[in-house]
């Protein structure tokens, strides 16, 4: 079947066009591969709306247009807390094309930036203006619609946010798993902990057991060891060509512990 590409000047027009069963094209790192493999057919919709590539301060955070690339985030001085995350996505060619919006929809084993956004408690604006927590979007990806922008709260200080990616091939390999942790401290106690995992489920998700082990405590070796021991409780890691579910369960705690020790 022939593929037609429609370019729309506004997000609103693109969203209406998508409503009738087309595929949205962000940076294309996944869509173009699927198209070349014959997996995407029919209509492909893209938008040249300038709002898609804007990065602007907003309250305590920053709003990032869904079409902003990993390379643009890596070059932005106000987004230093995300630099280690986006620099871990693919190689330079991929980072020049891959968008933050596309990362929310990238299937396992992808989604490193989506995991970081989950830990940070980001909110997602859908074309038309509705806002949803990023965890809702990650749970319901097939029905979300066109993402316009992502609001990212800024961590209180550099020690409050950390990221760790585990891959077999360095530096450009896909994640065997990755972790992002938000550890806000109040009077020495951890309050509002969020631990996000990529590669331990069908989409980036939080580890409620690890969060419970850390919440209200102090960040010390004993608390970290408990969180590491519990991290996969209630999760159902997949088996794939990269690793078995058993292996993922065995090593997840080791890598979460290394991440948290780096945030002491
Ligand atoms: C060689 C290679 C290495 C990679 N390495 C990594 C890695 O290390 N870590 C990682 O996380 N990912 C990796 N990826 C996956 C991918 O590059 C990223 O996840 C990227 O962020 C996807 O964004 P995109 O704009 O290219 O998405 P596209 O390919 O354009 O789209 C992907 C999906 O998202 C949907 N989509 C895109 N934008 C929107 C939007 N605004 N609203 C609604 N739906 C939208 C599309 O319809 C499609 O279903 C890699 C890919 C390749 C090819």
What are the pLDDT digits (tens) for 235-260? 999 999 999 999 999 999 999 999 99
Q: Are 100 and 79 in contact (CB under 8 A)?
A: no
Look at the domain 158-261 and name its fold.
Enolase-like; domain 1 (3.30.390)
Judge whether residue 20 has pLDDT over 80: no
Q: How far is the CA of 73 from the centre of ligand 1 (A)?
A: 15
Q: Is 189 helix (H, G, I), strand (E, B) or coil?
A: strand
Judge whether residue 1 has pLDDT over 80: no
Q: How far is the CA of 26 from the centre of ligand 1 (A)?
A: 7
pLDDT at 233: 97
pLDDT at 189: 97
pLDDT at 75: 98
pLDDT at 214: 98
pLDDT at 2: 84
User: Alpha helices of the chain — where are they, by DSSP H?
Assistant: 11-18, 31-36, 70-74, 83-86, 92-97, 100-105, 112-120, 134-139, 208-214, 221-230, 245-261
Phi/psi at 125 (nearest 5 deg)?
A: -95, 125
- Alpha carbon nearest to ligand 1 atom 10, residue: 110
Torsion on CA atoms 261, 87, 126, 4, rounded to nearest 10: -150
pLDDT at 110: 97
Judge whether residue 172 has pLDDT over 90: no
Confidence bin at 118 (pLDDT 50/70/90): very high
CA–CA dist 163, 179 (Å, integer)? 6
CA–CA dist 151, 100 (Å, integer)? 11
pLDDT at 222: 97
Cβ 49 under 6 angstroms from ligand 1: no
What's the pTM? 0.97
- Report the nearest atom of ligand 1 relative to the CA of 165: 8
Look at the domain 50-153 and name its fold.
3.30.465
Q: What is the mean pLDDT of residues 29-53?
A: 96
Cβ 103 under 6 angstroms from ligand 1: yes
Q: How far is the CA of 27 from the centre of ligand 1 (A)?
A: 7
Judge whether residue 26 has pLDDT over 80: yes
Cβ 148 under 6 angstroms from ligand 1: no
Q: How confident is the prediction for the chain on average, in pLDDT?
A: 96
Q: Are 120 and 152 in contact (CB under 8 A)?
A: yes
Start-end ranges of CATH 3.30.465.10 in the chain?
50-153
- Report the nearest atom of ligand 1 relative to the CA of 24: 47
Q: 89 vs 21, which has greater pLDDT?
A: 89
- Alpha carbon nearest to ligand 1 atom 25, residue: 27
Q: What is the mean pLDDT of residues 152-171?
A: 93
Q: How far is the CA of 29 from the centre of ligand 1 (A)?
A: 6
Start-end ranges of CATH 3.30.390.50 in the chain?
158-261
Q: How far is the CA of 32 from the centre of ligand 1 (A)?
A: 10
Judge whether residue 156 has pLDDT over 80: yes
- Report the nearest atom of ligand 1 relative to the CA of 66: 41
Cβ 174 under 6 angstroms from ligand 1: yes
Confidence bin at 203 (pLDDT 50/70/90): very high
- Alpha carbon nearest to ligand 1 atom 21, residue: 103
pLDDT at 113: 98
- Alpha carbon nearest to ligand 1 atom 15, residue: 110
């Amino acid at each position: 079947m022939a593929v037609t590409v429609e370019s729309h000047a506004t997000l609103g027009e693109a969203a209406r066009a998508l409503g009738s069963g087309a595929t949205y094209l962000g940076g294309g790192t996944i869509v173009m591969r699927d198209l070349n493999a014959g997996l995407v057919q029919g209509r492909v919709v893209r938008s040249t709306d300038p709002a898609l590539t804007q990065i602007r301060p907003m309250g305590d955070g920053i709003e990032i247009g869904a079409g902003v690339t990993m390379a643009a985030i890596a070059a932005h001085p106000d987004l230093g807390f995300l630099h280690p995350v986006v620099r871990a996505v693919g190689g330079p060619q991929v980072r020049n094309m891959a968008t933050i919006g596309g990362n929310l929809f990238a299937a396992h084993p992808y989604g490193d930036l989506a995991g970081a956004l989950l830990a940070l408690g980001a909110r997602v604006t859908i074309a038309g203006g509705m806002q949803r927590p990023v965890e809702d979007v990650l749970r319901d990806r097939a029905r979300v619609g066109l993402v316009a922008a992502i609001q990212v709260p800024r961590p209180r200080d550099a020690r409050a946010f950390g990221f760790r990616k585990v891959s077999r091939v360095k530096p450009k390999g896909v994640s065997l798993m990755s972790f992002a942790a938000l550890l806000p401290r109040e009077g020495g106690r951890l309050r509002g902990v969020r631990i996000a995992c990529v590669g331990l489920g069908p989409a980036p998700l939080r580890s409620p057991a690890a969060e419970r082990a850390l919440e209200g405590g102090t960040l010390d070796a004993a608390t970290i060891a408990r969180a590491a021991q519990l991290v996969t409780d209630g999760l159902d890691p997949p088996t794939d060509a990269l690793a078995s579910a058993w292996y993922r369960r065995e090593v997840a705690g080791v890598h979460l512990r290394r991440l948290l020790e780096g945030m002491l």
